[in-house]
Amino acid sequence: MDWSDAILLVLVIAILVLYIRLMLKNQRLRQMADEANRLRREAEATEQRNRQLKQEMTSNIAHELKTPVSSIRGYLEILLSDKPVDEAQRRHFLQRSYRQTLRLSDLIQDVSIINKLEESADLFPREAVDVSEVALEAAAELADKAAAKGIAIANHLPPMPLQGNHELLYCIFRNLIENSIAYAGEGIGIVMETYEPPKPATHTASPLYYIRYYDTGRGVPDEYLLKLFDRFVRIGEGRSRSDGGTGLGLSIVKHAVLFHGGEIYAKNRPEGGLEYYFSLKKQ
């Protein structure tokens, strides 16, 4: 092989190397473009889902507002009309109107909490909180309502310090207890305790607290268990607007647990009643 053939061979090899590099570069560019398109489609899909959720929530809020607003308007129209109303009726209408305003206030507050959790969760401050003390606080607040139905509340939670938000932790226990009082039946028990999940192979200390909350009431149909944490869910004929509540309580519970780095799920107890298992991050 003379020098000209050697130079030609080197040039051919150089061209092949350059071609391969260009092919690899184009392939990487195509992969980057495909990934960018995938992320764009996912972002558009997420935006669409969020838009649909907001539309659904707006529709549900309007529907939930309709009943109390219509009731208040009807009572006030009677009171303001020329039709004579005796003192007992007048007081009855005012009491009903007052209860409906309380319901409206609760609905506005719950909607505000969910919107804040979804859009500006970082606005909830964190501080040193003991979960057990918050659970005791919620139980004490609802003690009279529970006693009126013969319901006993047992808090077996040990001291559980963490960096969290007091308001959201309080919402978790208050909403769970309120649900049991409203729907589980009379003469039941409510228990809050810790539980031990399966140990990891490394046997390292868990970064989470594990909490079990349950009542000994009637439970819910199994097909509704996955819907418990959806907004404005009404499960069965026994759970209606006449029982009070905003339909957002368990949705707030789920968001509050997620805010504290945990997860939550519910199931029916074989002995009867509904139980919730959830975790909270220690730090």
Cα(203)–Cα(104) distance, rounded to whole angstroms?
49
With H, G, I as helix, E, B as strand and everything else as coil, classify residue 38: helix
Domain span holding position 208: 125-281
Cα(280)–Cα(157) distance, rounded to whole angstroms?
13
Q: Domain containing 212 — which CATH number?
A: 3.30.565.10
Q: Say whether both 166 and 230 belong to one domain.
A: yes
Concatenate the DSSP letters of all residues of 191-241 into one string.
EEEE--PPPPTT-PPPSEEEEEEEESS----GGGGGGTTSTT---STTS-G
Q: Say whether both 139 and 269 belong to one domain.
A: yes
Q: Say whether both 1 and 83 belong to one domain.
A: yes
Q: Say whether both 56 and 25 belong to one domain.
A: yes
Q: Say whether both 150 and 47 belong to one domain.
A: no
Q: Say whether both 145 and 247 belong to one domain.
A: yes
Contact 184, 215 (CB under 8 A): yes
What integer pLDDT is reported at residue 235 of this predicted model? 61
69, 100, 123 - which closes a domain: 123
Q: Say whether both 113 and 179 belong to one domain.
A: no
Task: Please give the distance of CA 228 from its chain centroid, rounded to a whole number.
Answer: 10
Bridge partners, residue 279, by sequence: 210
Would you say the pTM of this structure is higher than 0.75? no
Phi/psi for 24 (5° steps) reads: -65, -40
The DSSP bridge pattern shows strands 189-194 and 152-155 to be parallel
With H, G, I as helix, E, B as strand and everything else as coil, classify residue 79: helix
Phi/psi for 140 (5° steps) reads: -65, -40
Phi/psi for 9 (5° steps) reads: -65, -40
For the chain, the domain total comes to 2
What integer pLDDT is reported at residue 109 of this predicted model? 84
Which residues of the chain, if any, have pLDDT below 70?
1-6, 46, 49-50, 53-54, 57, 200-204, 233-246
What integer pLDDT is reported at residue 140 of this predicted model? 95
What integer pLDDT is reported at residue 280 of this predicted model? 96
